[in-house]
Structure 1
C-alpha cells in the first residue's frame, strides 16, 4: 500500500482536476502531500518504534493510513484530498521502516534473505504498477476507488498484526524531536516557496518568505544535529565522499523521474486523448522495465562494481528524457515515444539495486541502517522537489490549453529533468574507485574516523560492492530503526 500510493494517483490527476476543478498547484500538492511527510518522518517513525514498540507503532501506522485512505476517497474538494494525502504520507512513513524491523524480529536469520527479497519484489512491483493500477481503477470505477481499495486491506491487516507479529524494541530509546520538527518545517518552507513561484512570481513576498524561512530552518536543523545527543541525521556520515555523492545523485534522480512522470501522464491523457488505463499501459515500458533490468544490473554490479552501472544508468535515463523533449508534439505517435519510455526504464533499472549497495558500501556496518534511512528520505524529498520544479517550469512557459501551449511548457521541463540526471551521473562518476570497508569492526565511530573522510583511503572494498544480507539484512533494503 505504501509503495503503490507513491505513483498510483498520477494517471488519475486529469480526472481529479476536472472533477474537483483543481489548479496545477493543487495537483502538485495531491502528489507532494504524500511524499513530503513520507520523506520527513521516515527516520523519526523508526525511532518511535524503537522507543514505544515496533508492533505497536506499526499498528498505529496502519490505522492512520487506512483512515486517511477513506478520507481521501470521500474528499469533495482538492483541499480535503490534499489533507488526506498528507495523513496518508504520515502513515506510510511508519509502515515502510517498521515493516523491515518487524521482518527481522519475525523471520529466522537463515530465511531473512528470502524474506527481504520478497519485500523488495513487492515494493518494486507496487511502484511499477502504480500508474497502471491507478489508470485502470479510475477508468472502470472512479478515482475515489484508488483510495477505497486500501481500506479492506488495512482492516484485514490489523488482527493479523496482533496475532502474527512479535513485539520488539530498539536498544536506544532516545528521540530527536527538535530535529524532526526542524527538518519537516524547513523542507515544507522550501517546497512551498517553489510551488508558489509560478503562481505569484519568484520575487513575490509569498514566494520569497517561505523559501528564506525554509532555508533558515534547515540551517538551524544542521546546527542542531551537530549538537544533538541522538541526532535524527548523523552528519558525520557525510564525511564520506562516496556517501555524500551517491545521496546527492539519488535526490537528483528522483527529482527528474517524479517530475517527468507527473507531466507525461497528463500529456498522454489531456493532449493525446488516452484514457487513464491506456495512459498507464503506455507508461509500462518505463515503470515495469526495472523488474527485468534490476536483476541483471545486480549481476553486473557483482562483476564490475556499482559505480559504472549507476553512472551509465543515469545517463541512459537522461537520454530517454531528452528523446521525449525532442519528439514532443500534440500529434506524436506512440511508436516515436516508445524508445524514450524504454530508455528511461532501462536507466531506472540500472540505478536502484546498485545505488543501494553503494550507499551501504560507503559506511561502516554499524551505520548501514541509518545510512539507508537517509538515502530513502532524500529520494522522497527529491521526488517532491522534482514535481514542484518541473511543474513551475511548465507553468512559466506553457499551460493546459491549447495543446501547443502544453508542449511549450513540457519541453523545457523535460530538459530540466534531463539536466538533473546528467548532473547525477557526473556525481556518481566522481565517486572514488576505492572506498572504506563496508563491514566495519564493531566500532562505527572508529570506522568513520579511520576511513570515511574522503571515501578513498586504504584499499578497502570497491565503492558499490554488493553488501550481503548477513552483514545487515534489514539495513540493505531500508531502515533498521536506529
Structure 2
C-alpha cells in the first residue's frame, strides 16, 4: 500500500481487518462441522444450522447496518460491531450444546453485519476516484482470501487444539483493530438519516422462516404444518420487505439500482456463482473428513490450490477485464469452474486426493480467479461513486443469501446423508449453478461499458 497516504493506509487496514474477521468466520467453520457434530450431536441438521444461523443474521441485517452506519457514525458502529463480534465468538467457543451454539452464531452474524458496510463506508468516505477503486480492490482481495484460507486455519485448530478454538481466531485481529480505530481521527458527521427498522425486521424474519422450512423439511416433509406454515409466512414477509422498498423514503435496498443492466445481471450471476461456492465449500469440508477419512487440516488444505491461483491470477484478470470488458471473463470463469465441479465425480470409495480432488481444485481455482475481480468491477463499475457503498453492500448481501439458501437445501441435494452418492449429487448441482452463472453473464453483461460509451459519443 505504498502509493496510499498514511491516513488512507490506516483506513484500509481498519476496513480490511473488520471485514476479514466477518468473512473468515463464514468459512472457517466448514472443516469444524464434523468435530462439532461428534461432540454436541445433531448430525447434518445441526451442521446446517451452525452455518446458516450466522448467514441468516449477516445476510438479513447487512443492508440495515449500512443505514445505521450512515445515521450514527461509521467509527462508532464499527467499534460496537467489533466488541459484539468478539463477545459472541467467546460465547460460541464456550457453547455447551447445539442450541446455545446456534444462538451465539446468530449473534455473531448480527455483529458481523455491522462491520462490512461500515468498513466499506470508511473507504468511500475518505477516498475518491482511482484511489478509492484501488482501495476497494485491496479490500476485495483480502476478504476473498479470508474465505479461501478459512478452511485451512480451521483444520489446523481442529486437529491440534479443539474446534472451539476455531472461533477464537478473531480475538487478536479484533483487538488490533480496536487499537487502530482509537488512532483514527476522522470528523464524524452522522446524517441523522431515518433508519427503517421495520424493513430490517421483515427481511430477517422472512429469510429466517424460509431457511427454517428448507432445513427441517427433509425430516418432517412439506405436508407438515411445522414446515409449510413458517415457509409460507417467510415468503410473505420477504415479499412485504421487497414491496416496502419501493414505497419507503429511506429504502434499505434501493430497487432503482436494479434498473442498471450490469448491476442487475451481475448480481444474478453472483447469486448462482456464490451458491455454488458455498455448496462446494460445505461438502468438501465435511465429506473429506466424514467420507474419505482425512484429518481436518488435510481437508482444509484441499482448497489451498484455489487460494494460490487467486493470488497469482486474480489481479491480472482484473486488468484484462478492464481492457476487454468483464463479460468474457464472467462467462468463461464460471464455465471453467463447472468443469472442475464435474471432475469431482471421479471421487470414489478408493479415495485418492492427488488424482481425484486436486485436479478439480486447480481447475475450479483457475475459473474462480478469472471470475471474482471482473464480477466486482462489473457491478461496482455500473453504479456511480455516490452509491458505491450501497452497491457493494447489496452485492455482499446477495452473495451471503446465496450461500444461506443453498446450505439450507443441502439435505435435499445430497439425499439426507453426505455419503459418496450425496457428494456426487452436490458436485452435479454445483456444476449446474456455475453454468447458470456463466450463461447469465453472457446474456446480461455488456461486452465493455467503456467502449459503448465511446461509441455513443461518436
Secondary structure of residue in 2 paired with 1:429: helix
Indicate if the aligned counterparts of 1:316 and 1:346 stay in contact, CA closer than 8 A.
Answer: yes
**Correspondent of 1:230 among 247, 250, 253:** 250
Aligned to 1:63: 83
The equivalent of 1:410 in structure 2 is 423
Instruction: Check whether the contact 1:105–1:166 (CA below 8 A) recurs between aligned residues.
Output: no
Q: Within the alignment, does 1:460 sit opposite 2:450 as a pair?
A: no
Trace 1:314-325 onto structure 2 (pairs within 5 A).
314-324=334-344
Q: Separation in 2 of the partners of 1:105 and 1:363? A: 16
The equivalent of 2:150 in structure 1 is: 130
Query: What displacement does 1:109 show?
Result: 8.1
- What is the distance in 2 between the residues matched to 1:358 and 1:185? 31
**Aligned mates of 1:243, 1:103 — CA distance in 2:** 21
Q: Distance in 2 between matches of 1:424 and 1:114?
A: 26
Distance 1:282-1:380 versus aligned 2 partners, 3 A rule: same
- The match for 1:333 among 352, 361, 364 is 352
Structure 2 residue matching 1:347: 3-state secondary structure: helix
* Equivalent-residue separation in structure 1 for 2:444 and 2:175 (angstroms): 46
Query: 2:372 is matched with which residue: 352, 358, 362?
Result: 352
Taking structure 1 as the reference length, what is the TM-score of the superposition?
0.84
Equivalent-residue separation in structure 1 for 2:334 and 2:100 (angstroms): 37
Secondary structure of 1:460's aligned partner: helix
Aligned to 1:423: 436
Determine which structure has the larger helix proportion and give its number.
2
CA positional deviation for 1:344: 1.3
Superposition pairs for residues 303-322 of structure 1, below 5 Å?
303-322=323-342
Quick one: distance in 1 between partners of 2:454 and 2:234? 38
The two structures, once aligned, show a CA RMSD in angstroms of: 2.3
- Whole-Å separation in 1 of the counterparts to 2:75 and 2:302: 40
Q: 1:461 to 1:26 in 2, by over 3 A?
A: farther
- Offset at 1:127? 1.6
**Contact 2:266–2:445, Cα closer than 8 Å, also in 1:** no
TM-score (norm 2): 0.89
Question: CA 1:295–1:111 in structure 2 vs 1: closer, same or farther (change >3 Å)?
Answer: closer
Return the alpha-carbon distance in structure 2 between the equivalents of residues 303 and 182 of structure 1.
42
Unmatched tracts of structure 1, length 5 or more: 401-405, 438-457, 463-482
Give deviations 1:197-227, integer Å, cap 9, x for gaps: 2121133222222221111112111221111
Which residue is 1:383 aligned to?
403
Deviation readout 1:167-208 (Å, 9 max, x if unpaired)? 523546122212111111111122111111212113322222
CA distance in 2, matches of 1:434, 1:339: 31
Q: What secondary structure sits across from 1:2 in the alignment?
A: helix
Give the Cα–Cα distance (whole angstroms) in 2 for the partners of residues 237 and 244 of structure 1.
Answer: 7
Distance 2:379 2:79 in 1: 29
Counterpart Cα distance in 2 of 1:57 and 1:167: 15
Residue aligning to 2:10: none
The CA distance in 1 between the partners of 2:328 and 2:407, in whole Å, is 28
Q: Aligned partners of 1:41, 1:176: CA distance in 2, in Å?
A: 11
Inter-CA distance 207–293: structure 2 relative to 1 (3 Å threshold): farther
Of 211, 236, 246, the residue aligned with 1:216 is 236
CA distance in 2, matches of 1:427, 1:117: 24
Q: In 1, are the aligned partners of 2:326 and 2:447 still within 8 Å (CA)?
A: no
Tell whether the 8 Å contact from 2:325 to 2:447 is kept in structure 1 after alignment. Answer: no
Comparing 190-199 with 156-165, greater Cα deviation is found at 156-165
Kindly indicate whether the alpha-carbon contact (under 8 Å) linking 1:390 and 1:417 is maintained by their aligned counterparts in 2.
no
Within the candidate set 290, 293, 296, 1:270 is matched to: 290
Structure 1 residue aligned with 2:55: 35
Matched residue SS, 1:232: coil
What is residue 148 of structure 1 aligned with on the other side? 168
Aligned residue for 1:284?
A: 304
Equivalent residue for 1:45, pick from 48, 65, 72? 65
Matched, 1:370 2:390: yes
The separation in 2 between residues aligned to 1:432 and 1:277, in whole angstroms, is 39
Structure 2: where are the runs of 5+ without partners? 1-20
Q: Secondary structure of 1:148's partner?
A: coil
In structure 2, the CA distance between the partners of 1:423 and 1:108, relative to structure 1 (3 Å rule), is: closer
Distance 2:247 2:206 in 1: 18
Aligned ranges 1:103-114 → 2 under 5 Å? 103-104=123-124
Higher deviation after alignment, 332-341 or 112-121:
112-121
Q: Quote how far apart the aligned CAs of 1:434 are.
A: 5.9
Q: 1:205 to 1:149 in 2, by over 3 A?
A: same
Q: What is the rounded CA distance, in whole Å, between the counterparts of 1:6 and 1:391 in structure 2? A: 19
